[in-house]
Amino acid sequence: MIDSHDILVVHVDQRGLFSGQRQDAEVLAGIFDGEQNRLVVHGHPECGDAHGADR
């Protein structure tokens, strides 16, 4: 859902599309500029990476 705000932040976990070095995931992530539009990829709890990485 996108409302009238000027900022979009999308949170995803590191599974499926974002589980590795996939070219289609990199293309999708490239849409986000990191300032107004951010993609936050959260790591797997099993891997000990509970922190997100901004894109």
Q: For the chain, what is the domain count?
A: 1
| 1 has a pLDDT exceeding 70 | no
User: Is 47 contained in some domain?
Assistant: yes
End-to-end CA distance of the chain: 20
User: Is 1 contained in some domain?
Assistant: no
pLDDT tens column, 7-48: 888 888 888 888 887 888 888 888 888 878 888 888 866 655
| 3 has a pLDDT exceeding 70 | no
User: Is 2 contained in some domain?
Assistant: no
pLDDT band at 50 (very low <50, low <70, confident <90, very high): very low
| 52 has a pLDDT exceeding 60 | no
Residue 19 lies in domain: 8-54
DSSP letters spanning the chain: ---S-S-EEEEEESSGGGSS--HHHHHHHTT--SSSEEEEEEPPGGGT--SEEE-
* Cα 46 from Cα 18, distance rounded (Å): 16
User: Is 13 contained in some domain?
Assistant: yes
pTM of the model: 0.56
